[in-house]
Amino acid sequence: MKVVGDSLVLARTDPGALCFEDLVRGSVQVRSTYDASREDTIRYEEGRDYTVDYERGTIARTPNSRIPDFSRNVLYGQKEFDHSQFTGIGNHAYFVWVDYETRRGRPLAEESRQGDRLRRTRERLNAGGAFKIIAFGDSITTGGEASTEALQFFHRYGALLRQRFPKAQITVENGATGGDTTVNGLARLEEKVLSRQPDLVLVGFGMNDHNIEGFGVPLAQFEGNLVTMVTTIRERTGADVLLFSAFPPHPDWKFGSHRMEQYAAATQRAAERTRCAYADVYSVWARVLARKDASSLLGNNINHPNDFGHWLYYEALKAVRF
């Protein structure tokens, strides 16, 4: 199995884990940009800039490496941090992106057959003609921290559907608003979704809802808000809805409640209650975090996925088969 663009931040000479172990010797390529075609890409050299443990699937900086040292990040080692008290946060200057082959590769997202819940979508795409996708949610769904629009997970998903359904004229519209909870989403539903005549709406909330008391939305209300969104979208537009869960933010961020697993489960319950499609981003992220550290996936080192993280979202959406 070949993996493209697995992301790492590397501190000092401490090893950082890739998604998989048992790497094929000679297959590892490490660079400074996710998009390998960029002219400013630095291609790091094994032995000079990094070492590889092929059996364990880890990479470490050498003492004189050209790879930026993540221990110099302002949030490195901080516990219970309030991001507003720091300047220059973010991990983009520290990422390396790794291509490799592994003998122990496996899908990170489990396929689920949900054709009965996306029947209208399949029929409309097969018929051809105009088809509008609206992505609705919080700052993650605005594309937060992706380096280009094309690498945002919902644009990647739109590109996949264009390949699968070449007769359809698919457009993707971003209806998300940074910082929103499901309460804000309900208030914006008319403007951002209902008035826009969608055919398929990708709905993703939870990152802000799950925050500590006083900042977030209680679990039962969160679930109820999602049910109201799905029901209203269907009744008013006739569009299909695909709900997707969120991932846990940085474990040392002060405002996280550490309850994202419960909010992901509430998202799935809302999908079951309304019989709409569901993409399990949370489980994909959990599989990756079983080996990798959170900072290696977070563009802002708090709660926004980097380009590889957007690919993980895309993989969760792609696994919903119809």
Q: What are the residue ranges spanned by the domains of the chain?
A: 1-106, 112-321
Look at residues 109, 101, 98, 108 and name the one whose alpha carbon lies nearest to residue 22: 101
Bridge partners, residue 6, by sequence: 98
The rounded distance, in Å, linking the Cα atoms of 65 and 263 is 41
CA 219 to chain centre: 22
Secondary structure letter of residue 25 according to DSSP: T
Bridge partners, residue 170, by sequence: 131
Show the 3-state SS of 227-286.
HHHHHHHHHHHCCEEEEECCCCCCCCECCECCCHHHHHHHHHHHHHHHCCEEECHHHHHH
Backbone angle region of 87, left / alpha / beta, with phi > 0 → left and psi within -120 to 50 → alpha: beta
Helix (H, G, I), strand (E, B) or coil at 257: coil
pLDDT tens per residue across span 199-240: 999 999 999 999 998 899 999 999 999 999 999 999 999 999
Look at residues 319, 302, 247 and name the one whose alpha carbon lies nearest to residue 83: 302
DSSP labels for 176-202?
Answer: --TT--HHHHHHHHHHHTGGG--SEEE
Give pLDDT tens digits along the chain (322 positions).
Answer: 999 999 999 999 999 999 999 999 999 999 999 999 999 999 999 999 999 999 999 999 999 999 999 999 999 999 999 999 999 999 999 999 999 999 999 999 999 999 999 999 999 999 999 999 999 999 999 999 999 999 999 999 999 999 999 999 999 999 999 999 999 999 999 999 999 999 999 999 999 999 998 899 999 999 999 999 999 999 999 999 999 999 999 999 999 999 999 999 999 999 999 999 999 999 999 999 999 999 999 999 999 999 999 999 999 999 999 9
Helix (H, G, I), strand (E, B) or coil at 58: strand
Beta pairing, strands 129-137 & 277-279: unpaired
The rounded distance, in Å, linking the Cα atoms of 3 and 108 is 11
pLDDT tens per residue across span 271-289: 999 999 999 999 999 999 9
Asked if 109 contacts 318 with a C-beta cutoff of 8 angstroms, the reply is yes
Asked if 148 contacts 188 with a C-beta cutoff of 8 angstroms, the reply is no
The rounded distance, in Å, linking the Cα atoms of 316 and 283 is 9
Whole-Å CA distances, 183 to 125, 134, 224, 228, 283: 32, 19, 10, 11, 25
Helix (H, G, I), strand (E, B) or coil at 261: helix
Query: Please, what is the angle between helix 307-318 and helix 153-164, to 10°?
Result: 40
Phi–psi pair at 169, nearest 5 degrees: -100, 90
The rounded distance, in Å, linking the Cα atoms of 124 and 236 is 18
Bridge partners, residue 101, by sequence: 2
> Tokens 């993996």 label which residue?
3
- What topology is assigned to 112-321 in CATH? Rossmann fold (3.40.50)
In the structure encoding, which two tokens stand for residue 84, read together?
Answer: 């507003």
Backbone angle region of 258, left / alpha / beta, with phi > 0 → left and psi within -120 to 50 → alpha: left
In the structure encoding, which two tokens stand for residue 69, read together?
Answer: 């040292």
